[in-house]
Structure 1
Amino acid sequence: MSVQSAAADVDVDLRQLFASLARNWLRILVVTLVVTGAAFAFASTATRHYKAQAQVEIIPRESVYTRPAGNNDTDKPILDESGIATQVQIISSNDILKQVAQKLDLAKLPEFDEAAGMSSLSRLLVLVGLKSDPMDIPVDERVLKKMREKLNVYGVEKTRIIAIEFSSQDPMLAAAVPDAIAAAYIAGQGTAKLESNAAAADFLAPEIADLQQQVKAAEAKVATYRAQSDLLMGGNNSVLATQQLAELSSELSKVRGNRASAEATADNVRKVLRNGGSLDTVPEVLSSDLIQRLRERQVELRSNIADLSTTLLGNHPRIRALKSQLADLDAQIRGEAEKIIKGLLAQADTAKARESQLVADVNTLKAASARAGEQQVDLDALQRDAAAKRQQLELYLTNYREAASRQDRKYLPVDARISSKASVPSEPYFPKVLPIVSAAFVASLLIMAIATLLQELFSGRAMRPAAGAGFEPIDEVAMPVVRQEPATLQEMGEYPAEAVVEPDKAPLPYTTAMPETVASDMAEAPGMVAVPEAVPAERIADEIEPARSSLGEIDIEKAAEKLIASGAARAIFVSPEGDEAAASAVLVAREVSDAGLRVLLLDLTASGAASRPMLDSGLFPGITNLLASEAQFSDVIHADLYSDCHVIPVGTADPVRAMRAADRLPIIMQSLTTAYDLVVVECGPADAQGIGRLAGDATEVFLSMLEPDDEVAQAAVKLIESGYPDLTLVTPLGHEPPGNPVPGRRSAA
């Protein structure tokens, strides 16, 4: 997996990144072991601390046999989280802690009172004012502060149990303090209940005396009002007038019913007699004994007449006598019926008279009952007031007797108990040697690994070009090796045919840009890097003038103006003539910097010919240190002593080690062009292939020239043939050497 950079198209080289762990394994291991050893020493010498725990259960303790009458467990509220939290605060209150501190005499222990065992160093710090004097704080507050630091009171989740934890250097004290706190809490709860019970008894005694007087006065008012209003009570606890009205109303209803019944019966009998109907259908006639006897006699006569009619004629005196008797019986029956009618009518008249009397009585009682009702309302109010006061008096009496009895017996069970006493701890809870040492080892190892990876990442050493990033990876860096010429070089006029460069002795394993004076048969020599075949002097003389005329030769000012006008981001200088020609790059960089642009010169010469005049003297970290992962950008960028330009020298690192990370050079160039307006690169006698790997967008290529000799011509021709037709010749002639201050330019800070 790789990370894309926003400023340059680069990826994180995970192999290079994690290889830094292997390169720095010794440092990581040493730091880890040192930290682990320090942790072990701390854990071995640290003061041992012990912790013990006691538990208090919040639960009603009232017995079923001692519970007040009318109370049960459901009457007590269930403790919720807020109730448990309240009890936790009570347990850890100052009052309880002070009681425990006094009981166990904690103020005399140096563990709880800093002033009791102050060291000489602490006293000295107090004297010089670097530490507050503990004697300025009262001893009780000092002890309470230490107790709170060592105390932890909390409610166990989903239970009604409160845990009391305490830590101390003394295991016996660590167990004694929680037990003492729990005992003080329960004793305090009992004392609070006793005080509450005593306060209740003291309150109830005068209240009861007052209520007794009030009840007596209220009941006297009821009796007086009843006597004054003549409210006599009848049955069912009702007023006599109301009861009488009810009775008369019932009697009136009966009288009216009887009257209506008598009138209806009389009318019915009258209709039967008037219509000549049979009286046998009238119940009142049938209920008469006389009529019943007459009916029996009538039936008997008719039976005799029927018997005699079988032997005698109808005019027979005997039959006629029987019929005469039968007629008399009918007359008697009718007479009796009329008497019954008269009796019924008389009964109806009597009922009507009674009805009238009852109606008058009812009306009288209605008025009396209305008056009695109004008086009864007032009487009921007086009775309710008296009853309420009596009920309150009885309740107060009951509570007072109970409170007095519990106060005398001092029986008030606390709604809490110690469910688990603290046991003396056998092992300290701090320090744990193995966990501390293990944590220190793992943490230090992890931190050192992360620090190493971050250092590798932020330094840019773990970056590599991304696929399609606009610059191609290179195998060699375009930093030419300065040739070590023989002493008789000017006398010879050309290099010896045996001139080769051994890779293991060269300052840097770079491709050289030496003149083509090495024989072609040495190009394939094993272990050697052959230089190109020399060009005849006649050919050079023929090509130098056309090259100068076609390219055009400009001075330092014109080169600077060209770079500013074109907006170039990179300026690559090739100096075939060696170190002296490198002055062109320095002078152009200073000229552009004086114009107000941010300019950096990158010295890629093996001898540091470009950076020495800018840094005066001495060895400074540079590009090789950056490539060898020995420095970061901030370490290798230096200020020019004679301008505002910045410079990156060659550096002091091993070139062979630096070239192992040569593929990072395009990334470095991309980063520099992002930070600066112009990056000037002095490549020395480099070839076209070398500078091609340094070029990018908005790049200008310059050829430094002191004299139009064969080296310059040969280098110019090859650069043009290799794809640099816009090559520009620059000459530093007529300018001060770069090591001398230039008038009008301010020195770098």
Structure 2
Amino acid sequence: MSGAGSVGNDVDIDLGALFASLRRHWLFIVVGALVLAALAWLFCLLATPKYRAETRILIEMRESIFTRPNGETAADRPVLNQEGVKSQVEVVTSSDLLKKVSDKLKLGDTDEFGRPSLVSRALAALRLKPDPTQISHEEYVLREMRDHLQVYSVPDSRVIVVQFSSEDPALAAKASNAIADEYITLQRAAKLQSTDDATGWLEPEIADLTKRVKEAEAKVANYRASSDLLVGENDSPIATQQLSEITSELSRVRANRASSEARAASIRRALETGAPLDTVPDIVSSGLMQRLREREIQLNAQIADLSTSLLDGHPRIRALRSQLTDLNQQIRAEGRKILESLENEASISRMRETELTREMNTMKAQAARAGDQEVELRALQREATAQRELLETYLTRYREAASRTGRNYLPVDARIFSRADTPAEPYFPKTLPIVGATFFAGLLLLSIFVLLRELFSGRAMRPVEGVVREPASEIQMPVADAPVGPSPERAEAEEKASPRTVHPARPAASVETIQQIYDSYTTLGEDVPENPHSVHAIASRLIELGMTRGLVVSPEGDDGSAASVHLTRELADRKLRSILIDMTGTGAISRAMLDGKEAAGITDLLASEKQFTDVIHSDHYSDAHVIPLGLADPERAMRAVDRLPIILDALEAAYDIVIVECGPSSAENVKRLIGAATQVVLSVVDPDDNAVALSALDLDENGLDDVLILMGAEPDVPTPPGDGRPDPRVAL
């Protein structure tokens, strides 16, 4: 508590004296660091040197375009990601691989890996390390190999590094290379096993697929024969082709019929109207009609020639006109014959159309049946095609696997691109770095030791300038059997006769004792400089005691709770970060600090409906803060009342002092809120009130005997000289 600390403590750390101790003890620090460095140098001389060898493996696809079917390249195959590379790291450190390397190098026969060292046996005897004799020799060798082995993947790459350390540099290089070689061998064996498993699985599958392909193709042939689905041109059924041909022929016949009917209609119209027949195309195109037309032209020409020399009644002209009439009748008769011919042609076309329509309907039914049968046929063909394609795929894979197994060509997707060489220098111990680090660490640790010793001895402390300690408030309390409300002379006489110094926080056991305290300091007038139970005095007492939490009990309800507001404001006026928590049940005092407004408060915080920032509000009349009663359901909030001490601890971390107005609460409930630096305060307005006496007895019976009595709102009593503060009830 910054504020309380500045008043309650009168010493501070003297940094100058603290660091001056380093100058006084520099020889101790330097000599101690040199001794530690010498011990580290001696350790480096006696330590067994260890050598480390390193082998690097690259994870990559080793396939060639010439060895993959269908021209597949290595780039078309998936590349291992980071998770795959880490999985390969686990393969390198597997027990099976390490056992094979151990047997190959006979590490179990060496002193370094086959037998525990003296240090290991000593640690095992002290039960600081598992006893090596309790496990098998093979397991012990594996454990030692793992202690000397380090395998990791290089970040952002597919490179695996295998490091092996040993006291023998040659053995370190051999073991590192042997682990890498065994990993490649293990991968090749895994691929061989995978290929063997594939060929073993493909053989019966191919035999079964061959049988199923034959059966499927036989079903296709049998169904086509039974359903008479003969295939013509363009792989289409004959019924479909015939339907197409009949449709084309029907269209042609209909066109001819329409043409014949149209031509017959034009000739019939010309005959009926008496129009010249030489305007009808079919009559014009007739050879006989053309000859008759030529004869008509000749007769008209002769009549025209003779008319120039002969009269119309001349026999010659009459004969020619008679021939011309005959000729016209022949022309019309020939026109009627052509009309009958066209009508016959149209009738034949209609009959042909009717026949073709009947045939088309028949072929439609046949084509529909053929379509349904063709659907079933296509389903059988698809099944046969799928079985055949799968068989061909299996045959291709089987031939590839068999050829690889026979030719022993199984490229591993990894290669060793950097083999380990015999290391020339040990990696441990590094004498110069170890000795140097030990020396500087010794300087640092010994300097810290000197500083702490100087600090804890008190020599680095100095008084704080300008701080005046407030004296503890003590009152002269009359004896228990003194009459209530003594005169000033009687009180002074008893003080001189048999005074009894009483801590101001200790409450009386009854209302009479409280009345004695009250009357003692309300009747002294100007003889007493300040009422020790006033707000000002209680605030000073809390600061002097270094309290961070004040629990105010107000048996008289809101009248007594009003003093808590004045106490919190008094602490804020003394530059302390103070906050008041309203737990009175009515919330009247917090509303007074907020101008009558209701806001989220402690019940909302207990019900987990609001955060600290939502329930902490500023007092409108001081620098203090307040947490009102809140708006949440009180019953729901009380179910989480066990969280209240935690909330108070959190507030104490942010504020110098936390005042909790408990209202007319019982001592049992107050005890739940007591923390490390907590002071219980009993707020009294009327000492004659029976509730005050009952509350004082309750506190005393429950062991709360160190209670401060706050009389910050005395009714009808003038403020003692020197106080000058308004009645807190008036302020509210």
Confirm or deny a common fold (TM above 0.5).
yes
2:212 maps to 214
Mapped partners of 1:432, 1:299: distance in 2: 140
Identify the match of residue 136 of structure 1 among 134, 137, 151: 134
SS in 2 for 1:53: strand
1:63 maps to 64
1:271 maps to 269
SS in 2 for 1:112: helix
Mapped partners of 1:303, 1:456: distance in 2: 162
Mapped partners of 2:352, 2:36: distance in 1: 125
2:40 maps to 39
Q: Is the 8 A contact 2:263 2:342 kept in 1?
A: yes
SS in 2 for 1:425: coil
Mapped partners of 2:108, 2:413: distance in 1: 32
1:535 maps to none
Map 1:272-311 onto structure 2 (within 5 A).
272-279=270-277, 281-298=279-296
The structure-2 alpha-carbon separation of the partners of 1:290 and 1:129, relative to structure 1 and needing over 3 Å to count, comes to: same
The structure-2 alpha-carbon separation of the partners of 1:50 and 1:122, relative to structure 1 and needing over 3 Å to count, comes to: closer
Map 1:297-696 onto structure 2 (within 5 A).
297-298=295-296, 327-470=325-468
Mapped partners of 2:284, 2:153: distance in 1: 98
2:20 maps to 19
Mapped partners of 1:372, 1:359: distance in 2: 19
2:97 maps to 96
Tell me the TM-score normalised to structure 1 length: 0.58
Match of 1:270, as an amino acid?
A: R
Mapped partners of 1:266, 1:364: distance in 2: 32
Mapped partners of 2:401, 2:74: distance in 1: 19
Deviation per residue, 1:654-694 (Å, 9 max, x gap): xxxxxxxxxxxxxxxxxxxxx9xxxxxxxxxxxxxxxxxxx
Deviation per residue, 1:126-181 (Å, 9 max, x gap): 78988754233222211211111122222211112222222222222222222212
Q: Is the 8 A contact 1:57 1:161 kept in 2?
A: yes
Mapped partners of 1:199, 1:128: distance in 2: 53
> 1:353, CA displacement in angstroms?
0.8
The structure-2 alpha-carbon separation of the partners of 1:452 and 1:356, relative to structure 1 and needing over 3 Å to count, comes to: same
Deviation per residue, 1:705-745 (Å, 9 max, x gap): xxxxxxxxxxxxxxxxxxxxxxxxxxxxxxxxxxxxxxxxx
Mapped partners of 1:131, 1:9: distance in 2: 53
SS in 2 for 1:19: helix
Q: Does 1:28 align with 2:26?
A: no
> 1:291, CA displacement in angstroms?
3.2
- The RMSD of aligned alpha carbons is 3.5
Map 1:140-151 onto structure 2 (within 5 A).
140-151=138-149
Deviation per residue, 1:597-644 (Å, 9 max, x gap): xxxxxxxxxxxxxxxxxxxxxxxxxxxxxxxxxxxxxxxxxxxxxxxx
Mapped partners of 2:504, 2:365: distance in 1: 128
2:695 maps to none
Q: Is the 8 A contact 1:10 1:469 kept in 2?
A: no
2:52 maps to 51
> 1:99, CA displacement in angstroms?
1.5
The structure-2 alpha-carbon separation of the partners of 1:565 and 1:96, relative to structure 1 and needing over 3 Å to count, comes to: closer
Deviation per residue, 1:562-604 (Å, 9 max, x gap): 665799xxxxxxxxxxxxxxxxxxxxxxxxxxxxxxxxxxxxx
> 1:374, CA displacement in angstroms?
3.0
> 1:67, CA displacement in angstroms?
0.5
SS in 1 for 2:156: coil
Larger radius of gyration: 1
Mapped partners of 1:449, 1:315: distance in 2: 169
Identify the match of residue 249 of structure 1 among 238, 247, 259: 247
SS in 1 for 2:113: coil
The structure-2 alpha-carbon separation of the partners of 1:254 and 1:132, relative to structure 1 and needing over 3 Å to count, comes to: same
The structure-2 alpha-carbon separation of the partners of 1:563 and 1:250, relative to structure 1 and needing over 3 Å to count, comes to: same
Match of 2:249, as an amino acid?
A: E
Most deviating of 255-264 and 373-382: 373-382
SS in 1 for 2:70: coil
The structure-2 alpha-carbon separation of the partners of 1:123 and 1:92, relative to structure 1 and needing over 3 Å to count, comes to: closer
Match of 1:68, as an amino acid?
A: P
> 1:314, CA displacement in angstroms?
6.1
SS in 1 for 2:52: strand
Mapped partners of 1:130, 1:463: distance in 2: 44
Q: Does 1:109 align with 2:110?
A: yes
> 1:19, CA displacement in angstroms?
1.0
Most deviating of 446-455 and 58-67: 446-455
Match of 2:108, as an amino acid?
A: A
Match of 1:104, as an amino acid?
A: L
Match of 1:136, as an amino acid?
A: Q
Mapped partners of 2:97, 2:374: distance in 1: 62
Q: Is the 8 A contact 1:3 1:12 kept in 2?
A: no
The structure-2 alpha-carbon separation of the partners of 1:337 and 1:471, relative to structure 1 and needing over 3 Å to count, comes to: same
Q: Is the 8 A contact 2:58 2:158 kept in 1?
A: yes
Mapped partners of 1:559, 1:49: distance in 2: 89
SS in 2 for 1:179: helix
> 1:278, CA displacement in angstroms?
4.5
Mapped partners of 2:286, 2:178: distance in 1: 107
The structure-2 alpha-carbon separation of the partners of 1:310 and 1:112, relative to structure 1 and needing over 3 Å to count, comes to: farther
SS in 1 for 2:163: strand
Identical amino acids, percent of aligned pairs: 53
> 1:407, CA displacement in angstroms?
1.3
> 1:248, CA displacement in angstroms?
1.6
SS in 1 for 2:402: helix
Q: Is the 8 A contact 2:65 2:71 kept in 1?
A: no
Deviation per residue, 1:195-232 (Å, 9 max, x gap): 11112112222222222222222222222232223332
Q: Matched residue pairs, number?
A: 483
Map 1:129-278 onto structure 2 (within 5 A).
133-278=131-276
1:650 maps to none
Q: Is the 8 A contact 2:206 2:391 kept in 1?
A: yes
Mapped partners of 2:17, 2:382: distance in 1: 100
Tell me the TM-score normalised to structure 2 length: 0.60
Match of 1:94, as an amino acid?
A: S
Deviation per residue, 1:531-559 (Å, 9 max, x gap): xxxxxxxxxxxxxxxxxxxxxxxxxx999
> 1:349, CA displacement in angstroms?
0.9
The structure-2 alpha-carbon separation of the partners of 1:460 and 1:127, relative to structure 1 and needing over 3 Å to count, comes to: closer
Match of 2:193, as an amino acid?
A: E
Match of 1:204, as an amino acid?
A: L
The structure-2 alpha-carbon separation of the partners of 1:26 and 1:299, relative to structure 1 and needing over 3 Å to count, comes to: farther
SS in 2 for 1:69: helix
Mapped partners of 2:248, 2:452: distance in 1: 113
Mapped partners of 2:10, 2:291: distance in 1: 147
The structure-2 alpha-carbon separation of the partners of 1:337 and 1:90, relative to structure 1 and needing over 3 Å to count, comes to: farther
Q: Is the 8 A contact 1:465 1:471 kept in 2?
A: no
> 1:451, CA displacement in angstroms?
2.7
Deviation per residue, 1:86-137 (Å, 9 max, x gap): 111112111111111111211122222234xx44x86688789887542332
Q: Is the 8 A contact 1:52 1:167 kept in 2?
A: yes
Mapped partners of 2:132, 2:20: distance in 1: 55
Most deviating of 285-294 and 61-70: 285-294
SS in 1 for 2:417: strand
Match of 2:41, as an amino acid?
A: F
Deviation per residue, 1:34-78 (Å, 9 max, x gap): 112222222333222222222211111111111122634454223
Most deviating of 18-27 and 363-372: 363-372
Mapped partners of 2:259, 2:448: distance in 1: 121
